[in-house]
Structure 1
Amino acid sequence: MNRVWDAHCHLSFFSDQQLSEILQNSPSAQETRFVQGGYNPKDWHRQLDISQRYPQRMALCFGLHPWALQKMNVHQREEAWNELTHLASKAALIGETGIDHWVAKEKASQDLQFEFFKRHLQLANSLNKPLVLHIVRAHDLCIKILRETPLSLPWAGIVHSYTGNLEWAQKYINIGFFISIGPRLLKKSDRLIRNLIASIDLKHLLIESDAPADPQNPVWDPGIICSIAETLGRIKKVSTESVMAQNQQNIETLNLFG
Protein backbone atom coordinates (compact mmCIF):
# COMPACT_ATOMS: atom_id res chain seq x y z
CA MET A 1 0.00 0.00 0.00
CA ASN A 2 1.33 3.42 -0.96
CA ARG A 3 1.78 5.92 1.82
CA VAL A 4 0.33 9.38 1.25
CA TRP A 5 3.01 12.07 1.43
CA ASP A 6 2.35 15.80 1.57
CA ALA A 7 5.61 17.29 0.28
CA HIS A 8 5.06 20.69 1.88
CA CYS A 9 2.77 22.09 4.56
CA HIS A 10 2.79 23.97 7.86
CA LEU A 11 1.27 21.87 10.65
CA SER A 12 2.65 24.38 13.15
CA PHE A 13 0.04 26.91 11.99
CA PHE A 14 -2.82 24.72 13.27
CA SER A 15 -4.19 24.60 16.81
CA ASP A 16 -3.80 21.48 18.96
CA GLN A 17 -7.47 20.65 18.42
CA GLN A 18 -7.12 20.96 14.66
CA LEU A 19 -3.98 18.82 14.72
CA SER A 20 -5.82 16.11 16.62
CA GLU A 21 -8.49 16.09 13.94
CA ILE A 22 -5.90 16.09 11.16
CA LEU A 23 -3.53 13.47 12.54
CA GLN A 24 -5.91 11.18 14.45
CA ASN A 25 -9.52 11.56 13.41
CA SER A 26 -9.40 12.09 9.67
CA PRO A 27 -9.33 8.77 7.77
CA SER A 28 -7.74 10.53 4.79
CA ALA A 29 -4.87 11.81 6.92
CA GLN A 30 -4.21 8.92 9.29
CA GLU A 31 -1.63 7.36 6.97
CA THR A 32 -0.25 10.65 5.67
CA ARG A 33 3.24 11.88 6.37
CA PHE A 34 4.01 15.57 6.15
CA VAL A 35 7.13 17.45 5.06
CA GLN A 36 7.21 20.78 6.86
CA GLY A 37 8.26 24.23 5.72
CA GLY A 38 10.25 26.22 8.27
CA TYR A 39 9.39 29.86 8.98
CA ASN A 40 10.91 31.35 12.17
CA PRO A 41 12.07 30.29 15.68
CA LYS A 42 8.52 30.08 17.04
CA ASP A 43 7.63 27.74 14.17
CA TRP A 44 10.70 25.52 14.72
CA HIS A 45 9.84 24.94 18.38
CA ARG A 46 6.22 24.27 17.49
CA GLN A 47 7.36 21.65 14.97
CA LEU A 48 9.50 19.99 17.64
CA ASP A 49 6.57 19.90 20.04
CA ILE A 50 4.21 18.38 17.46
CA SER A 51 6.78 15.79 16.38
CA GLN A 52 7.16 14.57 19.96
CA ARG A 53 3.42 13.97 20.21
CA TYR A 54 3.11 12.46 16.74
CA PRO A 55 6.44 10.69 16.08
CA GLN A 56 7.31 9.55 12.57
CA ARG A 57 4.50 11.60 11.05
CA MET A 58 6.38 14.70 9.95
CA ALA A 59 9.77 15.61 8.53
CA LEU A 60 10.99 18.72 10.35
CA CYS A 61 12.27 21.68 8.37
CA PHE A 62 14.01 24.65 9.99
CA GLY A 63 14.91 27.89 8.25
CA LEU A 64 14.30 31.62 8.14
CA HIS A 65 11.61 32.17 5.51
CA PRO A 66 12.22 35.18 3.23
CA TRP A 67 8.97 36.70 4.51
CA ALA A 68 10.09 36.29 8.14
CA LEU A 69 13.40 38.01 7.41
CA GLN A 70 11.55 41.11 6.22
CA LYS A 71 9.77 41.42 9.58
CA MET A 72 12.93 41.29 11.73
CA ASN A 73 15.46 43.93 12.69
CA VAL A 74 19.20 43.25 12.53
CA HIS A 75 19.42 42.01 16.13
CA GLN A 76 16.41 39.71 15.75
CA ARG A 77 17.76 38.22 12.53
CA GLU A 78 21.18 37.44 14.00
CA GLU A 79 19.64 36.04 17.17
CA ALA A 80 17.33 33.84 15.10
CA TRP A 81 20.21 32.70 12.90
CA ASN A 82 22.29 31.75 15.92
CA GLU A 83 19.37 29.69 17.22
CA LEU A 84 18.94 28.05 13.83
CA THR A 85 22.57 26.93 13.73
CA HIS A 86 22.06 25.22 17.11
CA LEU A 87 18.72 23.59 16.22
CA ALA A 88 19.31 22.66 12.58
CA SER A 89 20.76 19.22 13.36
CA LYS A 90 17.33 18.21 14.70
CA ALA A 91 15.65 18.93 11.35
CA ALA A 92 15.45 16.70 8.28
CA LEU A 93 15.64 19.66 5.88
CA ILE A 94 16.87 23.25 5.87
CA GLY A 95 14.39 25.91 4.77
CA GLU A 96 12.27 27.52 3.68
CA THR A 97 14.93 29.67 2.13
CA GLY A 98 15.32 31.55 -1.10
CA ILE A 99 14.64 34.88 -2.75
CA ASP A 100 11.18 36.40 -3.14
CA HIS A 101 11.18 39.52 -5.29
CA TRP A 102 7.42 39.82 -4.90
CA VAL A 103 7.91 40.96 -1.29
CA ALA A 104 11.48 42.29 -1.63
CA LYS A 105 11.16 45.03 -4.22
CA GLU A 106 13.91 47.32 -2.89
CA LYS A 107 17.60 46.53 -3.31
CA ALA A 108 18.29 46.48 0.44
CA SER A 109 15.61 43.82 0.98
CA GLN A 110 16.83 41.81 -1.99
CA ASP A 111 20.42 41.95 -0.73
CA LEU A 112 19.23 40.73 2.68
CA GLN A 113 17.48 37.72 1.15
CA PHE A 114 20.54 37.03 -1.00
CA GLU A 115 22.82 36.99 2.06
CA PHE A 116 20.61 34.65 4.08
CA PHE A 117 19.99 32.36 1.11
CA LYS A 118 23.75 31.80 0.87
CA ARG A 119 23.93 31.24 4.63
CA HIS A 120 21.24 28.55 4.38
CA LEU A 121 23.11 26.83 1.54
CA GLN A 122 26.29 26.73 3.59
CA LEU A 123 24.41 25.43 6.64
CA ALA A 124 22.74 22.68 4.61
CA ASN A 125 26.09 21.67 3.17
CA SER A 126 27.75 21.57 6.58
CA LEU A 127 25.03 19.22 7.88
CA ASN A 128 24.46 17.22 4.67
CA LYS A 129 20.77 18.08 4.65
CA PRO A 130 18.46 18.81 1.70
CA LEU A 131 16.94 22.24 1.17
CA VAL A 132 13.40 23.55 0.79
CA LEU A 133 13.36 26.51 -1.60
CA HIS A 134 10.88 29.39 -1.74
CA ILE A 135 11.56 31.28 -4.97
CA VAL A 136 9.36 33.99 -6.47
CA ARG A 137 10.34 36.11 -9.48
CA ALA A 138 14.01 35.28 -8.93
CA HIS A 139 14.68 31.89 -10.52
CA ASP A 140 17.61 33.01 -12.70
CA LEU A 141 19.38 34.55 -9.70
CA CYS A 142 18.74 31.56 -7.43
CA ILE A 143 19.92 29.06 -10.02
CA LYS A 144 23.10 31.12 -10.46
CA ILE A 145 23.71 31.06 -6.69
CA LEU A 146 23.05 27.31 -6.50
CA ARG A 147 25.55 26.66 -9.29
CA GLU A 148 28.16 28.77 -7.50
CA THR A 149 27.62 26.87 -4.23
CA PRO A 150 27.64 23.16 -5.12
CA LEU A 151 25.49 21.14 -2.73
CA SER A 152 26.86 18.16 -0.85
CA LEU A 153 23.95 15.78 -1.54
CA PRO A 154 23.02 14.21 -4.90
CA TRP A 155 19.37 15.08 -4.15
CA ALA A 156 19.57 18.74 -3.21
CA GLY A 157 15.98 19.12 -2.00
CA ILE A 158 12.62 20.57 -2.99
CA VAL A 159 11.56 23.64 -4.95
CA HIS A 160 8.24 24.15 -3.25
CA SER A 161 5.06 25.42 -4.93
CA TYR A 162 6.83 25.81 -8.25
CA THR A 163 5.27 28.23 -10.76
CA GLY A 164 8.19 28.97 -13.09
CA ASN A 165 8.79 27.84 -16.65
CA LEU A 166 10.11 24.56 -18.05
CA GLU A 167 13.63 25.88 -18.69
CA TRP A 168 14.11 26.86 -15.05
CA ALA A 169 12.50 23.63 -13.84
CA GLN A 170 14.98 21.59 -15.87
CA LYS A 171 17.88 23.56 -14.41
CA TYR A 172 16.68 22.86 -10.87
CA ILE A 173 16.29 19.19 -11.74
CA ASN A 174 19.82 19.07 -13.16
CA ILE A 175 21.14 20.54 -9.90
CA GLY A 176 19.30 17.82 -7.95
CA PHE A 177 15.97 19.32 -6.90
CA PHE A 178 12.48 17.91 -7.06
CA ILE A 179 9.78 20.20 -8.44
CA SER A 180 6.84 20.33 -6.02
CA ILE A 181 3.37 21.18 -7.32
CA GLY A 182 0.52 22.44 -5.15
CA PRO A 183 -3.20 23.20 -5.34
CA ARG A 184 -2.73 25.61 -8.24
CA LEU A 185 -2.79 22.49 -10.44
CA LEU A 186 -6.49 22.07 -9.59
CA LYS A 187 -7.41 25.30 -11.38
CA LYS A 188 -8.61 24.19 -14.81
CA SER A 189 -7.99 27.67 -16.19
CA ASP A 190 -4.29 27.57 -15.30
CA ARG A 191 -2.87 26.24 -18.54
CA LEU A 192 0.66 27.39 -17.68
CA ILE A 193 1.16 24.98 -14.79
CA ARG A 194 -0.67 22.14 -16.56
CA ASN A 195 1.45 22.48 -19.69
CA LEU A 196 4.58 22.60 -17.53
CA ILE A 197 3.67 19.40 -15.69
CA ALA A 198 2.94 17.59 -18.94
CA SER A 199 6.60 18.09 -19.90
CA ILE A 200 8.25 16.90 -16.66
CA ASP A 201 8.73 13.23 -15.80
CA LEU A 202 6.97 12.05 -12.63
CA LYS A 203 10.31 10.95 -11.19
CA HIS A 204 11.16 14.65 -10.78
CA LEU A 205 7.83 15.78 -9.29
CA LEU A 206 6.32 16.00 -5.81
CA ILE A 207 2.82 17.00 -4.69
CA GLU A 208 2.05 19.33 -1.79
CA SER A 209 -0.89 20.99 -0.07
CA ASP A 210 1.04 24.06 1.19
CA ALA A 211 -1.62 24.09 3.90
CA PRO A 212 -2.94 26.22 5.38
CA ALA A 213 -3.57 28.60 2.48
CA ASP A 214 -4.51 31.31 4.99
CA PRO A 215 -2.42 31.13 8.22
CA GLN A 216 -4.82 33.58 9.88
CA ASN A 217 -7.72 31.19 9.29
CA PRO A 218 -6.11 27.74 9.06
CA VAL A 219 -8.27 25.09 7.42
CA TRP A 220 -7.19 21.59 6.47
CA ASP A 221 -8.58 19.76 3.46
CA PRO A 222 -7.58 16.12 4.00
CA GLY A 223 -8.43 15.21 0.43
CA ILE A 224 -6.32 17.86 -1.28
CA ILE A 225 -3.28 15.63 -1.91
CA CYS A 226 -5.45 12.92 -3.45
CA SER A 227 -7.16 15.54 -5.64
CA ILE A 228 -3.80 16.86 -6.85
CA ALA A 229 -2.57 13.31 -7.52
CA GLU A 230 -5.74 12.50 -9.46
CA THR A 231 -5.40 15.65 -11.59
CA LEU A 232 -1.71 14.98 -12.18
CA GLY A 233 -2.56 11.42 -13.19
CA ARG A 234 -5.07 12.64 -15.78
CA ILE A 235 -2.49 15.02 -17.24
CA LYS A 236 0.20 12.31 -17.36
CA LYS A 237 -2.30 9.61 -18.41
CA VAL A 238 -1.47 7.32 -15.49
CA SER A 239 -3.44 6.15 -12.46
CA THR A 240 -3.74 8.12 -9.23
CA GLU A 241 -2.07 5.17 -7.50
CA SER A 242 0.93 5.45 -9.84
CA VAL A 243 1.29 9.14 -9.00
CA MET A 244 1.09 8.39 -5.27
CA ALA A 245 3.65 5.60 -5.56
CA GLN A 246 6.12 7.79 -7.46
CA ASN A 247 5.56 10.68 -5.02
CA GLN A 248 6.39 8.35 -2.13
CA GLN A 249 9.46 6.99 -3.91
CA ASN A 250 10.72 10.49 -4.70
CA ILE A 251 10.33 11.73 -1.13
CA GLU A 252 11.93 8.60 0.30
CA THR A 253 14.95 9.35 -1.92
CA LEU A 254 15.58 12.35 0.35
CA ASN A 255 16.00 9.98 3.33
CA LEU A 256 14.09 12.29 5.67
CA PHE A 257 13.66 9.77 8.47
CA GLY A 258 17.20 8.44 8.54
Structure 2
Amino acid sequence: MLVDSHCHLDFPDFAEELDAVVDRARQAGVGRMVTICTYLSRFDRILAVAERYDDVLCSLGVHPHQAAEEIGGVTVERLVELSRHPKVIGLGETGLDYFYDKSPRDIQQECFRRHIRASVETGLPLIIHTRDADDDTMRIVREEAAGQPVKGLLHCFSSGRQLAEDALDFGFSLSLSGIVTFKKSEELRDIVRDVPLDRILVETDAPYLAPVPFRGKRNEPAYVAHTAACVAEVKGVDAAELARRTTENFFRLFDRADPSRQAAA
Protein backbone atom coordinates (compact mmCIF):
# COMPACT_ATOMS: atom_id res chain seq x y z
CA MET A 1 0.00 0.00 0.00
CA LEU A 2 1.07 3.55 -0.80
CA VAL A 3 -0.09 6.82 0.72
CA ASP A 4 -0.42 10.07 -1.20
CA SER A 5 0.35 12.34 1.73
CA HIS A 6 -0.47 15.59 -0.09
CA CYS A 7 -2.98 16.27 -2.86
CA HIS A 8 -5.74 18.79 -3.59
CA LEU A 9 -8.84 16.81 -4.45
CA ASP A 10 -11.13 19.78 -3.87
CA PHE A 11 -9.56 21.71 -6.76
CA PRO A 12 -11.70 22.30 -9.88
CA ASP A 13 -9.28 20.15 -11.91
CA PHE A 14 -10.95 17.06 -10.43
CA ALA A 15 -14.54 18.20 -10.08
CA GLU A 16 -15.96 16.37 -13.08
CA GLU A 17 -14.34 12.99 -12.42
CA LEU A 18 -13.44 12.82 -8.76
CA ASP A 19 -14.85 9.32 -8.30
CA ALA A 20 -12.76 8.08 -11.21
CA VAL A 21 -9.62 9.78 -9.88
CA VAL A 22 -10.04 8.15 -6.47
CA ASP A 23 -10.78 4.78 -8.08
CA ARG A 24 -7.64 4.96 -10.24
CA ALA A 25 -5.61 5.70 -7.12
CA ARG A 26 -7.02 2.62 -5.41
CA GLN A 27 -6.23 0.49 -8.45
CA ALA A 28 -2.64 1.80 -8.32
CA GLY A 29 -2.29 0.60 -4.74
CA VAL A 30 -2.85 3.95 -3.02
CA GLY A 31 -4.62 3.13 0.23
CA ARG A 32 -4.84 6.62 1.71
CA MET A 33 -4.96 10.13 0.27
CA VAL A 34 -4.71 13.39 2.21
CA THR A 35 -6.52 16.31 0.60
CA ILE A 36 -4.85 19.49 1.77
CA CYS A 37 -6.46 22.71 2.93
CA THR A 38 -5.09 25.99 1.54
CA TYR A 39 -7.93 28.36 2.52
CA LEU A 40 -9.39 28.12 6.01
CA SER A 41 -12.49 29.83 4.66
CA ARG A 42 -13.00 26.89 2.29
CA PHE A 43 -12.41 24.14 4.83
CA ASP A 44 -15.96 22.89 4.41
CA ARG A 45 -15.14 21.92 0.80
CA ILE A 46 -12.05 19.97 1.84
CA LEU A 47 -13.97 18.24 4.61
CA ALA A 48 -16.79 17.33 2.22
CA VAL A 49 -14.31 15.49 -0.03
CA ALA A 50 -12.75 13.68 2.93
CA GLU A 51 -16.14 12.64 4.26
CA ARG A 52 -17.17 11.32 0.85
CA TYR A 53 -14.47 8.61 0.79
CA ASP A 54 -13.33 6.29 3.57
CA ASP A 55 -9.73 6.35 2.34
CA VAL A 56 -9.42 10.14 2.03
CA LEU A 57 -8.27 12.24 5.00
CA CYS A 58 -7.68 15.98 5.18
CA SER A 59 -5.73 18.80 6.74
CA LEU A 60 -6.65 22.22 8.07
CA GLY A 61 -4.73 25.39 7.30
CA VAL A 62 -3.81 28.38 5.17
CA HIS A 63 -1.21 28.37 2.40
CA PRO A 64 1.30 31.24 2.60
CA HIS A 65 -0.01 32.54 -0.73
CA GLN A 66 -3.40 33.11 0.93
CA ALA A 67 -2.08 34.42 4.24
CA ALA A 68 -2.95 38.08 3.62
CA GLU A 69 -6.45 37.22 2.46
CA GLU A 70 -7.15 34.75 5.27
CA ILE A 71 -5.21 36.07 8.28
CA GLY A 72 -8.25 37.80 9.80
CA GLY A 73 -9.98 34.46 10.26
CA VAL A 74 -6.94 32.52 11.44
CA THR A 75 -6.71 32.20 15.20
CA VAL A 76 -5.14 29.48 17.26
CA GLU A 77 -8.50 28.90 18.92
CA ARG A 78 -10.26 28.40 15.59
CA LEU A 79 -7.59 26.05 14.30
CA VAL A 80 -7.82 24.00 17.48
CA GLU A 81 -11.61 23.87 17.36
CA LEU A 82 -11.88 22.86 13.70
CA SER A 83 -9.08 20.33 14.04
CA ARG A 84 -11.18 18.21 16.40
CA HIS A 85 -12.93 16.61 13.43
CA PRO A 86 -11.62 13.02 13.16
CA LYS A 87 -10.88 13.38 9.45
CA VAL A 88 -8.36 16.17 10.18
CA ILE A 89 -4.92 14.65 10.66
CA GLY A 90 -2.58 17.63 10.26
CA LEU A 91 -2.26 21.41 10.20
CA GLY A 92 -1.37 23.09 6.94
CA GLU A 93 -0.30 23.56 4.46
CA THR A 94 1.32 26.47 6.16
CA GLY A 95 4.73 28.09 5.97
CA LEU A 96 6.59 30.67 3.95
CA ASP A 97 6.95 31.37 0.24
CA TYR A 98 9.45 34.12 -0.55
CA PHE A 99 9.71 33.07 -4.20
CA TYR A 100 6.29 34.37 -5.22
CA ASP A 101 5.69 36.69 -2.23
CA LYS A 102 1.95 36.63 -2.87
CA SER A 103 1.41 37.73 0.73
CA PRO A 104 3.62 40.17 2.66
CA ARG A 105 6.33 38.29 4.51
CA ASP A 106 5.38 39.57 7.94
CA ILE A 107 1.83 38.30 7.46
CA GLN A 108 3.08 34.95 6.16
CA GLN A 109 5.21 34.63 9.26
CA GLU A 110 2.41 35.51 11.67
CA CYS A 111 0.04 33.06 9.99
CA PHE A 112 2.72 30.37 10.19
CA ARG A 113 3.28 31.07 13.89
CA ARG A 114 -0.42 30.60 14.64
CA HIS A 115 -0.38 27.20 12.97
CA ILE A 116 2.67 26.18 15.00
CA ARG A 117 0.98 27.25 18.23
CA ALA A 118 -2.08 25.20 17.28
CA SER A 119 0.20 22.25 16.55
CA VAL A 120 1.78 22.53 19.99
CA GLU A 121 -1.68 22.63 21.58
CA THR A 122 -3.25 19.78 19.60
CA GLY A 123 -0.27 17.54 18.92
CA LEU A 124 -1.20 17.44 15.24
CA PRO A 125 1.74 17.54 12.82
CA LEU A 126 2.56 20.55 10.68
CA ILE A 127 2.50 20.29 6.89
CA ILE A 128 5.02 22.94 5.87
CA HIS A 129 5.42 24.69 2.53
CA THR A 130 8.72 26.52 2.26
CA ARG A 131 10.26 28.13 -0.78
CA ASP A 132 13.28 30.45 -0.73
CA ALA A 133 12.69 30.86 3.02
CA ASP A 134 14.88 28.15 4.51
CA ASP A 135 16.38 30.10 7.41
CA ASP A 136 13.18 31.82 8.49
CA THR A 137 11.19 28.59 8.29
CA MET A 138 13.27 26.68 10.81
CA ARG A 139 13.94 29.78 12.94
CA ILE A 140 10.23 30.40 13.40
CA VAL A 141 9.55 26.73 14.14
CA ARG A 142 12.22 26.73 16.85
CA GLU A 143 11.00 30.01 18.34
CA GLU A 144 7.39 28.91 18.55
CA ALA A 145 8.19 25.40 19.73
CA ALA A 146 10.31 26.85 22.55
CA GLY A 147 11.52 23.40 23.50
CA GLN A 148 8.09 21.76 23.27
CA PRO A 149 7.62 18.77 20.96
CA VAL A 150 6.38 19.66 17.49
CA LYS A 151 5.85 17.09 14.76
CA GLY A 152 5.78 17.83 11.07
CA LEU A 153 7.13 17.49 7.59
CA LEU A 154 8.44 19.64 4.79
CA HIS A 155 6.07 18.88 1.94
CA CYS A 156 7.20 18.67 -1.67
CA PHE A 157 10.79 18.93 -0.52
CA SER A 158 13.06 20.37 -3.21
CA SER A 159 15.33 22.69 -1.23
CA GLY A 160 19.01 22.35 -0.41
CA ARG A 161 20.95 20.03 1.84
CA GLN A 162 21.18 22.46 4.76
CA LEU A 163 17.42 22.75 5.14
CA ALA A 164 17.08 18.98 4.89
CA GLU A 165 19.64 18.51 7.65
CA ASP A 166 18.09 21.20 9.84
CA ALA A 167 14.61 19.72 9.45
CA LEU A 168 15.79 16.18 10.15
CA ASP A 169 17.77 17.35 13.18
CA PHE A 170 14.60 18.95 14.52
CA GLY A 171 12.75 15.66 14.08
CA PHE A 172 10.77 16.51 10.96
CA SER A 173 10.28 14.27 7.94
CA LEU A 174 10.57 15.09 4.24
CA SER A 175 7.81 14.40 1.72
CA LEU A 176 8.93 13.86 -1.86
CA SER A 177 6.90 14.76 -4.93
CA GLY A 178 7.23 14.20 -8.66
CA ILE A 179 10.08 16.71 -8.69
CA VAL A 180 12.42 13.92 -7.58
CA THR A 181 11.77 12.16 -10.93
CA PHE A 182 12.75 15.15 -13.08
CA LYS A 183 15.96 14.91 -15.07
CA LYS A 184 17.24 18.19 -13.61
CA SER A 185 16.78 17.01 -10.01
CA GLU A 186 20.06 15.15 -9.53
CA GLU A 187 21.02 17.40 -6.60
CA LEU A 188 17.73 16.54 -4.89
CA ARG A 189 18.29 12.83 -5.50
CA ASP A 190 21.76 13.16 -3.97
CA ILE A 191 20.16 14.60 -0.83
CA VAL A 192 17.50 11.88 -0.77
CA ARG A 193 20.21 9.20 -0.81
CA ASP A 194 21.34 10.47 2.59
CA VAL A 195 17.91 10.89 4.18
CA PRO A 196 17.06 8.04 6.60
CA LEU A 197 14.39 5.82 5.11
CA ASP A 198 12.24 6.18 8.21
CA ARG A 199 11.90 9.94 7.59
CA ILE A 200 10.60 9.86 4.00
CA LEU A 201 7.02 10.20 2.77
CA VAL A 202 5.75 10.44 -0.81
CA GLU A 203 3.11 12.69 -2.33
CA THR A 204 1.75 14.02 -5.59
CA ASP A 205 0.74 17.62 -4.79
CA ALA A 206 -1.89 16.86 -7.44
CA PRO A 207 -2.96 18.44 -9.70
CA TYR A 208 0.58 19.88 -9.85
CA LEU A 209 4.03 18.39 -10.50
CA ALA A 210 3.17 15.18 -12.30
CA PRO A 211 6.12 12.78 -12.21
CA VAL A 212 7.89 11.34 -15.22
CA PRO A 213 6.44 9.90 -17.47
CA PHE A 214 3.43 12.21 -17.01
CA ARG A 215 5.34 15.47 -16.60
CA GLY A 216 3.42 18.40 -18.05
CA LYS A 217 0.05 16.70 -17.59
CA ARG A 218 -2.44 17.01 -14.78
CA ASN A 219 -1.20 15.06 -11.78
CA GLU A 220 -3.42 12.72 -9.74
CA PRO A 221 -2.95 10.46 -6.70
CA ALA A 222 -2.44 7.28 -8.75
CA TYR A 223 0.81 8.74 -10.05
CA VAL A 224 2.42 8.66 -6.60
CA ALA A 225 3.44 5.12 -7.55
CA HIS A 226 5.88 6.57 -10.10
CA THR A 227 7.40 8.93 -7.55
CA ALA A 228 7.72 6.05 -5.09
CA ALA A 229 9.43 3.88 -7.72
CA CYS A 230 12.00 6.61 -8.35
CA VAL A 231 12.64 7.08 -4.62
CA ALA A 232 13.03 3.31 -4.21
CA GLU A 233 15.68 3.28 -6.93
CA VAL A 234 17.52 6.20 -5.34
CA LYS A 235 17.44 4.52 -1.93
CA GLY A 236 18.46 1.13 -3.30
CA VAL A 237 15.38 -0.76 -2.10
CA ASP A 238 12.63 -2.50 -4.02
CA ALA A 239 9.30 -0.81 -4.64
CA ALA A 240 7.41 -2.98 -2.15
CA GLU A 241 9.83 -2.13 0.64
CA LEU A 242 9.65 1.58 -0.15
CA ALA A 243 5.85 1.43 -0.12
CA ARG A 244 5.84 -0.38 3.22
CA ARG A 245 8.30 1.98 4.86
CA THR A 246 6.76 5.22 3.63
CA THR A 247 3.32 4.01 4.69
CA GLU A 248 4.65 3.15 8.15
CA ASN A 249 6.24 6.60 8.29
CA PHE A 250 2.95 8.22 7.35
CA PHE A 251 0.95 6.50 10.09
CA ARG A 252 3.65 7.14 12.67
CA LEU A 253 3.69 10.86 11.90
CA PHE A 254 -0.04 11.28 11.32
CA ASP A 255 -1.02 9.05 14.20
CA ARG A 256 -4.67 10.15 14.15
CA ALA A 257 -4.88 8.28 10.83
CA ASP A 258 -3.39 5.10 12.31
CA PRO A 259 -5.92 2.31 11.77
CA SER A 260 -4.71 0.40 14.84
CA ARG A 261 -5.25 3.47 17.00
CA GLN A 262 -8.73 3.98 15.54
CA ALA A 263 -9.61 0.34 16.19
CA ALA A 264 -8.57 0.71 19.81
CA ALA A 265 -10.51 3.94 20.32
TM-score normalized with structure 2 length = 0.84
Q: What letter matches 1:8 in structure 2? A: H
> Is 1:62 aligned with 2:57?
no
CA–CA separation in structure 2 for the residues paired with 1:135 and 1:35: 19
Structure 1 residue 209: deviation in Å? Answer: 0.4
Does residue 134 of structure 2 align to residue 112 of structure 1? Answer: no
**Distance between the aligned counterparts of 2:133 and 2:246, measured in 1?**
26
| Alignment partners' CA distance in 2, 1:149 and 1:223 | 36
Q: Which residue of 2 aligns with 1:39?
A: 38
Contact residue 132 and residue 158 of structure 1 kept, 8 A: yes
1:189 equivalent in alignment to 2:188: no
Match of 1:92 in 2: 89
8 A Cα contact 2:95 2:108, kept in partner = yes
Structure 1 stretch 4-13 or stretch 222-231: which is displaced more? Answer: 222-231
Percent identical pairs in the alignment equals 24
How far 1:219 sits from its partner (Å)? 3.4
Which one is further off, 81-90 or 117-126? Answer: 81-90
In structure 2, list runs of 5 or more residues that go unmatched: 210-215
Decide whether aligned partners of structure 1 residues 180 and 125 sit closer, same or farther in structure 2, where only a CA change above 3 A counts: same
Q: Give the aligned length.
A: 247
Three-state SS of the structure 2 residue aligned to 1:98 is strand
Which one-letter code corresponds to 1:94 in the other structure? L
Match of 2:127 in 1: 132
1:103 to 2:100 alignment: yes
TM-score, normalisation: structure 1: 0.86
Task: Write the distance in 2 (CA, Å) between the matches of 1:198 and 1:34.
Answer: 25
Residue 145 (structure 1) aligned to one of 132, 136, 140: 140
Contact 1:24 1:30 in 2 (8 A): no
Which secondary structure state, in structure 2, belongs to the residue aligned with residue 12 of structure 1? coil
Distance 2:184 2:56 in 1: 33
Note if contact 1:129-1:153 (Cα within 8 Å) is conserved in structure 2. Answer: no
- More displaced, 146-155 or 184-193? 146-155
- Shift in CA distance, 119/154, structure 1 to aligned 2, threshold 3 Å: closer
Q: Does the 8 Å contact 1:125/1:152 carry over to 2?
A: no
Distance 1:235 1:80 in 2: 40
Distance 2:225 2:29 in 1: 13
Distance 1:175 1:110, change over 3 A: same
String of CA shifts for 1:120-150, please: whole Å, max 9, x gaps.
1111111111110001111111111111222
1:1-258 alignment runs, 5 A limit: 3-13=1-11, 14-24=13-23, 27-29=26-28, 31-55=30-54, 57-70=55-68, 72=69, 77-79=71-73, 81=75, 84-90=79-85, 91-104=88-101, 109-150=104-145, 156-213=151-208, 219-254=218-253, 255-257=255-257, 258=262
Give the whole-Å Cα distance in 2 for the aligned partners of 1:26 and 1:244.
14
Report the more deviating stretch, 135-144 or 220-229: 220-229
